[in-house]
């Protein structure tokens, strides 16, 4: 084979490699879903999102207003608006509901009776809100590792008959 033919063959292989690496275009976009994450102060919303984003759980500080985190999964990205759970912030939750496609409600399983009652009221308010009432809800019972944590049946009995517990 002549030097010219060898050079042409290498150029053609370089061209094919270039096309394979550079001309495929961007990878297909993963769908994005907008969620809202609510719950009382100290229920574990920030810790949950930090864990899902593979961030260090050290130095987690309660959210005083709101924060937005992009939680990447293999086939989708969840854009989660975490709303602070303090009394003075909860009255503004509904301002952040627009555009949400799902709700994560974080419940402290080991909370006091008063906090459990407040959580129940907030949950029922969210379930009835016009912008949320048709959306999927995930109720996450956090702090199950604490000695005062309530059983699934206790939480279900307390939160009300509008909920269907999932026991897997």
Q: Binding site for GTP: what residues are annotated? A: 39-46, 85, 142-145
CA 141 to the chain's CA centroid: 14
Please give the DSSP secondary-structure letter assigned to residue 158: H
- What residues form the annotated binding site for Mg(2+)? 46, 63
- What residues form the annotated binding site? 39-46, 63, 85, 142-145
The residue behind tokens 């907008």 is: 34
Q: Is 143 left (phi over 0), alpha (psi -120 to 50) or beta?
A: left
Phi and psi, residue 73, nearest 5°:
-125, 170
- The Cα-based distances of 94 to 6, 27, 44, 57, 104 in angstroms read 69, 36, 20, 28, 14
The residue behind tokens 């879903």 is: 33
């Amino acid at each position: 084979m002549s030097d010219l033919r060898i050079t042409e063959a290498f150029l053609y292989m370089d061209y094919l490699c270039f096309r394979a690496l550079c001309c495929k275009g961007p990878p297909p976009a993963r769908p994005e879903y907008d969620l809202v994450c609510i719950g009382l102060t100290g229920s574990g919303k920030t810790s949950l999102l930090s864990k899902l984003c593979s961030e260090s759980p050290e130095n987690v500080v309660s959210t005083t207003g709101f924060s937005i985190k992009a939680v990447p999964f293999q086939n989708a990205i969840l854009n989660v608006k975490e709303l602070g759970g303090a009394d003075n912030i909860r009255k503004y939750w509904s301002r952040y509901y627009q555009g949400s496609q799902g709700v994560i409600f974080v419940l402290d399983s080991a909370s006091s009776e008063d906090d459990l009652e407040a959580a129940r009221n907030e949950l029922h308010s969210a379930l009835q809100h016009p912008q949320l009432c048709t959306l999927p809800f995930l109720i996450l019972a956090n702090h199950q590792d604490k000695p005062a944590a309530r059983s699934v049946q206790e939480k279900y009995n307390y939160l009300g008959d509008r909920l269907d517990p999932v026991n897997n």
